[in-house]
Amino acid sequence: MSDSYIPIASLSALKTSKLLCVKPAGLRIALAYVDGKVFAVDDICSHEDASLSKGSLHGECVKCPLHGSRFDLNNGEALDDPAEDPIRTYPVKIDGDEIFVKC
Q: Which pLDDT value is given to residue 103?
A: 85
Write the CATH number for 30: 2.102.10.10
Task: Determine the structural domain holding residue 35 and report its residue range.
Answer: 5-102
Report the side by side order of strands in the sheet with 19-22: 19-22, 29-34, 37-42, 89-90
Q: How many domains does the chain have?
A: 1
What are the pLDDT tens digits along the chain (103 aa)? 457 999 999 999 999 889 999 999 889 999 999 999 999 999 999 999 999 999 999 999 999 999 999 999 999 999 999 999 999 999 999 999 999 999 8
Its pTM stands at: 0.93
pLDDT of residue 2: 58
Amino acid identity for residue 19 in this structure = L
